[in-house]
Every structure is written in C-alpha cells, then in structure tokens.
C-alpha cells in the first residue's frame, strides 16, 4: 500500500490516450505550418500589388506589440481588488 492520498495518485495513461495526444500534437503542428504558409502567400501577393506592404505591416505590428506589452505591464501594476490577495 502507498502512503499517498488516493486522490493524489494518478492512474496510468492508456496507449490509446497517448496515441490521441500525439495525433493532436501533430495536427496542431500541421495547422500551424499551414497558417504560416498562408500568411507568407498573402504577404507575397500584397507586396506584388503594393510594394513595401510587408515592411509597413511589420512596422505596424511592432508598434502594436509594444503597445500591448506596455498595457499588459500597466495592468499588472494596478491592484485588482476583485480578486483575493493570494490570487493576484
């Protein structure tokens, strides 16, 4: 017998479940790669119609990312009184 609480013991993972998890991981990677190709194709096409499109897009993306990060840091510094102190 084990000294651990029965609620803390984890049952062994079945082979079927492991196969399903691996399948989902592969599908996720495949979809990520498809999305990357789609974005590249869109950028390439737009760059042909409007030269400099990709550079302008990336510059705007950089600005938006910096603003998002600044807002996130600002929100973290503000106290959130809705949540108990141990969850902040």
Residue 84 has pLDDT above 80, yes or no: no
Residue 29 has pLDDT above 70, yes or no: yes
pLDDT for 1 equals 46
Does residue 88 or residue 60 have the better pLDDT? Answer: 60
Label residue 75 by pLDDT band (50, 70, 90): confident
Reduced to 3 states (helix: H, G, I; strand: E, B; else coil), residue 1 is coil
Reduced to 3 states (helix: H, G, I; strand: E, B; else coil), residue 51 is coil
* CB-count burial class (<10 Å; 0-12, 13-18, 19+) for 28: exposed
**What Å distances lie between residue 84 and 24, 66, 72, CA to CA?**
36, 30, 20
Label residue 8 by pLDDT band (50, 70, 90): low
Mean pLDDT, the chain, whole residue set: 84
Angle of helix 53-77 versus helix 15-49 axis, rounded to 10: 130
Q: Where in the chain are the domains? A: 14-50, 52-88
Question: What does DSSP assign to residue 82?
Answer: T
Residue 85 has pLDDT above 70, yes or no: no
């Amino acid at each position: 017998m084990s000294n651990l609480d029965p609620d803390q013991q984890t049952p062994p993972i079945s082979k079927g479940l492991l196969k399903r998890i691996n399948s989902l991981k592969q599908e996720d990677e495949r979809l990520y790669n498809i999305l990357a190709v789609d974005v590249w194709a869109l950028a390439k096409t737009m760059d042909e119609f409007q030269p400099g499109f990709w550079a302008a897009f990336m510059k705007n993306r950089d600005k938006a990312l910096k603003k998002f990060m600044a807002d996130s840091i600002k929100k973290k510094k503000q106290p959130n009184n809705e949540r108990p102190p141990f969850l902040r």
